Amino acid sequence: MKLSTPAAAPARSGVVARILVTIFFAGLLATPYLMRRFSTGGRTASAQPDSQAALARYGFYLQEVSHTAGIDFVHQAPTLDPKLAAIMPEVSSMGAAVSIVDFDRDGWPDIYVTNSAIGSKNHLYHNNHDGTFTDLAEQMGVADVNRDGTGVSMGAVWGDYDNDGYEDLFLVKWGRPELFHNDHGHGFTRVTDQSGLPTWFNANTAVWFDYDGDGLLDLFVGGYYPEGLDLWHLPSTRMMPESFEYAKNGGRKYLFHNLGNGHFEEVSAKVGIDSRRWALAAAAADLRGTGHPDLFVANDYGVSELYLNDGKHFHEAGAETGIGFAPKSGMNASVGDVFNQGKLDIYVSNISEEGVLIQGNNLWVPKDGPTLKYENLARDLGVELGGWSFGAQFGDLNNDGNLDIYLENGYISLDRKRSYWYDFAKVAGGNSSIIGDAANWPAFDGRSLSGYQQKHVWLNDGAGKFIDVAQAVGATDTYDGRSVVLADLWNRGVLDAVVANQRGPLLIYRNTVTPENDWIEFSLEGTKSNRSAIGAQLTLFWDGKQQVQQVSGGNGFASENDRRIHFGLGKKPQIDKVVIRWPSGAVQTLENLTPDRLYTVKERS
Amino acid sequence: MSQPTAQANQPQPDTRAKQHFRGWTPLPSRLNPYLPPIFITLILLIGNLSFGILESYSKTLLAIVTAITFELVLGRIFLHKWPHPASAYITGISVGILLRSPAFWPYALCSALSITSKYALRVQGRHIWNPSNFGICAMLILASQAVASLSIQWGNNFASLVVIWVLGTVIVLRAKRFHITLTYVVSFIALSFLRAHITGDPWQAEIAPITGPMYQLFIFFMITDPKTTVRSRMGQCGVAVAIAVVEFFLRLNSSIYAPLYALFWVGPLALFIEMWIDSHRGRSIASATVPSPEGLRS
């Protein structure tokens, strides 16, 4: 037996400590792998599309049916001033937009799609009630809206601004905005010149809402590029954002107050909306139960803004509510009651590119308490990482009673093997004098930037987690998705998805839902309130649960869902009631409701 | 980015603060150990109050607390004394600024990796990686799904650039390490023009990274670390040039985190060469005695 000497003991303990710290260090290095392997967030169902398996497992599946529905639309991107040729894919990366409207009030949703090349035509697909659509845009006078010298379309929102019962069209453009009056479903009359709208702006988002509760729809427009720029005839190449996180040199914001005579007064400064952040998406909703719709604006290159509305004035409260602290690349604004607790959450899409830029999407959930405070639960719920995300919508895709999320993504898909990310990151981190000049940016040269991305269809399990089932249920395209809408296109009690892709086809995903799950839908018409009922909130109570939804005048990214409100109910539901809070402040309660029906509700006058 | 002192196999961290700042002017000698932490805290506060550079205060606080905790625990185990927390504080704050993630855990893990690397990765009693450089590179490689760094961040305007240049210059001048920063900057700019010539991209695009405020943290606070740089002034300048050259090639290969990776490879290699030369000359390894801000930090 060999005895240790006193001097050997500390040396041996030092060796042991060294071994232990090395093992511990190796454990630290292995932690990211273990985190990824055992993380419950961002779960993905990796199964190949199998409609019957998806129906059995997730309660629904999607089939892309655009061609059989008679739609073969392919979006054309704008080509701006030749001085921007080197980075044209980046500066002209938006414009594909889709909105749902029943323009002729036949009870079937129609589809309006924008195009964005000079000379290209927008399309108004009329629902033929038989699974097909017919383009009536030319006939109705809303096709040829991208003429040389007038700019091009970036989006469209519908609202009955004169309360005649028919949805009118506001066209969001990089160029001359257009307002079309709906002539009782027989055609549209251009009324831009007498409306008081500006002659030019470069905007990507607009929202119809009645901010002052006078029963007339007002219009918010969020500028992106500065309104003084004619993007086809630029004085110089200094037209880029001054920063990629703190830019305040974008387009101005507009709030057009509806005067009721076909004329609008621009009142943004008067009511407290003053921002030159680069707005990409907006949504209006009464977030505090005050009866006044607040306004959420998702900005590119910076923080989001939340304008709280007291009925006459707005107060920007992004920072104090928690949503306006970390600057990201906001590209979507959707509201939905994720937890079935009667409160509206806000989903904002941003950029996440593995190894390069991890902004993460935001799911802003209101905290309990006397003042409005939000916390971002996107990571906890598994809806944080969505690639270069754009439009998103809440909707119950499998009618199980929980709101799911359909997210579009993918920025620029060109050469699959060559990426522009290095050059993008190189310049974007530099000084504003370099960033702000397009001439300083390396040529795109056919490279991709977060291209060919898989979409996300996040299924809400009702227990605080989402699972991505896009591939399993058939949402398998990898186009550069921009705008997505959810609508019951064929009055079957299910939400179908329509996707507008930049430089890509319009896709219609026909949804098939397990018949075990029931549903209920509501179509509202205001009387004291605006006739579109935009801003009306419906809270459905069933099976001990409640869910609030709202009639929207534009949300997501460059999109507008069907005016009708769809609730999934799950199996054998017992419906207690629906409480409708109209924009006028009137509250209407309906009881004795039957599942699997569409209810048409007119506001009590 | 702090580490135990590199005294052979038995580091003596209790003397470290004095050693680090032997080159500083004597006037504020009692304050010297606290100046770099104060300066980098100023940068953080100015940046965050004016531009909101941080993901959140809580994440940065988590990085700092983790770094200090690990330093104290590991220092106590290996050095049998409580280490001065200043260097760990700067490591934590560097992680808080340089790392970007919507999650909390990467901040804690990065700080833990940074500090632990000083104790786990040692050659001849000397740690060879700049701790925060190691931690951030490890996170970028191993946790790319969750973190990013040095990309689209911070103000991008002239004011923030001036603030960091002034504060950084004050610190590295006092630490007598400005020659390293200057050599790197000159090398980077010269190679930027060469890169622009090769790629055909605008020279402004190649210069752009160094005009970003976040890049300045790398120039002033990371490559000047005395504990992970060679001793001689010429050698230090040579290493700075070498980092710029390796970064040059990495950039030609479209490596987004080229400066961090260049330091990751060049820094230890330079130290190995120095050790080999010392060994060849039969000299014992001595720790660097020239102070710098990074010395406190790392």
Structure confidence by residue, pLDDT tens digits, B217-269: 788 888 988 777 898 999 999 999 999 999 999 999 999 999 999 999 999 99
d(CA B267, CA A524): 68
Confidence of residue B125 (pLDDT cuts 50, 70, 90): confident
User: Is A29 within 8 Å of B199 when comparing Cβ atoms?
Assistant: no
Nearest Cα residue in chain B from A242: B156
pLDDT in tens, B127-182: 889 999 999 999 999 998 888 875 555 555 677 677 778 888 888 888 889 999 99
CB contact under 8 A, B151 and A31: no
Q: Any residues with CB less than 8 A from the CB of A515 and at least 6 apart, and which?
A: none
Instruction: Verify whether the Cβ–Cβ distance A356 to B121 is below 8 Å.
Output: no
**Residue B94: its pLDDT value, please?**
87
What pLDDT, on a 0 to 100 scale, did the predictor assign at position A43? 64
Phi-psi region of A436 (alpha: psi -120 to 50; beta: other; left: phi over 0): alpha
Model confidence pLDDT, tens digit, residues B35-88: 778 877 887 787 777 666 666 788 889 999 999 999 999 999 888 889 989 889
- How far apart are alpha carbons A393 and A410 in whole angstroms? 16
> What was the pLDDT predicted at A291?
96
Chain A residues 548-587 with CB within 8 Å of chain B: none
Query: Residue B99: pLDDT band by 50, 70, 90 thresholds?
Result: confident
Count of CB atoms situated within 10 Å of the CB of A311:
13
Residues A192, A404: Cα–Cα separation, whole Å: 38
Report DSSP letters for A31-45, one per residue: HHHHHHHH--TTEE-
pLDDT digits (tens, 9 = 90+) for A78-130: 999 999 999 999 999 999 999 999 999 999 999 999 999 999 999 999 999 99
Sign of CA dihedral A412, A416, A422, A427: negative
Share of chain B above pLDDT 70, in %: 77
Tell me whether B49 touches chain A (CB under 8 Å): no
- For residues A526, A529, A532, A534, the Cα torsion angle rounded to the nearest 10 degrees is -120
pLDDT of residue A348: 98
Residue B193, φ and ψ in degrees, nearest 5: -65, -40
Distant-in-sequence contacts of A596-599, Cβ < 8 A, 24+ apart: A596/A493, A596/A518, A596/A519, A596/A520, A597/A520, A597/A521, A598/A491, A598/A520, A598/A521, A598/A522, A598/A523, A598/A564, A599/A520, A599/A521, A599/A522, A599/A523
Contacts of B51 in chain A (CB under 8 A): 245-246
Q: Which residues of chain A have pLDDT under 50?
A: 1-4
Contact between chains at A21 and B52 (C-beta distance less than 8 A): no
Structure confidence at residue B14 as a pLDDT band (50, 70, 90): very low
Instruction: Say if pTM beats, i.e. exceeds, 0.80.
Output: yes
List the single residue in B with minimal CA-CA distance to A20. B120
Contacts of B146 in chain A (CB under 8 A): 32, 35, 358
- Residue B208 touches chain A, beta carbons under 8 Å: yes
Chain A nearest-CA distance from B232, in A, is 30
How close, in Å, is residue B133 to chain A by CA atoms?
Answer: 14
Alpha-carbon gap, residue A49 to A471, rounded angstroms: 6
User: CB–CB of A17 and B214 under 8 A?
Assistant: no
Q: Is the ipTM of this complex over 0.90?
A: no
Instruction: Give me the helix-helix angle, B105-120 and A8-38, nearest 10°.
Output: 150
pLDDT of residue B296: 35
Token readout for B259 is 């400066």
